[in-house]
Amino acid sequence: MTTTYELPLFPLSTVLFPGMPLPLHIFEPRYKLLINACVRDSSPFGVVLIHKGSEVGAGATIHTVGTTAVINNVRTYDNGEMDILTIGQDRFIVESTHNQKPYLTGVVRDYPLIDVQNPDIERLATGVSTMVTGYLDIFAALGEVDLKLEQLPSDPQALAFLAAVVLHMPMKDKQELLTFDSLPRLLRHERKILSREQVILKDLIDTGTRLKDDLSPFSQN
């Protein structure tokens, strides 16, 4: 039987992946309580993408696959607001939610990638790694910004999640990447996306098109 546990949830308009840094400014009273409780107990909270609704206020509906966020740093202001830096850790699936506390709480179960020992993984990861490097090089050429990484992860799972982070695509499509159950399936899907995107971006280079600021795959935070 799959073990479930309770996890405070933070609905956002961003998809968090394992290994991804996520800075947040905390100002709503309910989320101040949530973060203070997590800091006190040295425990994570869950980030879930909003399906319908807004980050501010109540009533938002959420997607059911999210990622736990571990708090690495907290800066508190005199008015009680906070700047925090978090890192994505583990994926989970929301089985149900309740509002017994001021913030949303989920009953969740862990959702690790499966088939991680598949013999095709090394070949798939090598291909994705090469394509991610080329993808970032094209963005650098278009936007005249240096998006190169010193070294891509050698671990295939970390690489798959990094590829999901850097891909420029709508959040609903990033959410789809987060929901893949199998590591080989995720890598194959990313390879298809990267191949398609490189063709599009190379066409922009050939036509001399410059990237707009909002086309960067990275947050300005």
Domain boundary among 55, 90, 110: 110
Same domain, 12 and 41: yes
Given a cut of 70, the residues of the chain with pLDDT beneath it are: 1, 53-59, 142-150, 202-221
CA dihedral in degrees (195, 201, 203, 205; nearest 10)? -140
Domain boundary among 85, 110, 135: 110
As a whole number of angstroms, the distance between CA 46 and CA 97 comes to: 12
Q: For residue 35, which phi and psi values (nearest 5 degrees)?
A: -65, -40
Domain boundary among 110, 139, 155: 110
Same domain, 82 and 144: no
Same domain, 19 and 45: yes
Chain-centroid distance of CA 115 in Å reads 21
Q: Is residue 115 part of a domain?
A: no
Q: Is residue 148 part of a domain?
A: yes
Domain that holds residue 170: 121-215
As a whole number of angstroms, the distance between CA 179 and CA 176 comes to: 5
- How many other C-beta atoms are found inside a 10 Å radius of the C-beta of residue 61? 11
Q: Is residue 83 part of a domain?
A: yes
Give SS3 for 193. helix
As a whole number of angstroms, the distance between CA 191 and CA 186 comes to: 9
Counted domains in the chain: 2
pLDDT at position 197 = 84
Chain-centroid distance of CA 153 in Å reads 16
pLDDT at position 34 = 96
As a whole number of angstroms, the distance between CA 178 and CA 198 comes to: 21
Give SS3 for 183. helix
Secondary element (H or E) of residue 133: helix 121-143
Residue from 10, 19, 13, 111 nearest 65 by CA: 111
The DSSP bridge partners found for residue 60 are none
What are the strands, taking DSSP E only, across the chain? 5-12, 21-26, 45-52, 61-62, 65-76, 82-98, 105-110
Residue type for position 221: N
Same domain, 95 and 192: no
Same domain, 58 and 85: yes
42: tokens are 């040295």
pLDDT at position 148 = 57
Same domain, 94 and 184: no
As a whole number of angstroms, the distance between CA 187 and CA 173 comes to: 15
Same domain, 43 and 94: yes
| CATH number of the structural domain spanning residue 90 | 2.30.130.40
Place of tokens 């191949």: 195
Same domain, 126 and 103: no
pLDDT at position 114 = 97
Same domain, 11 and 67: yes
The DSSP bridge partners found for residue 65 are 93
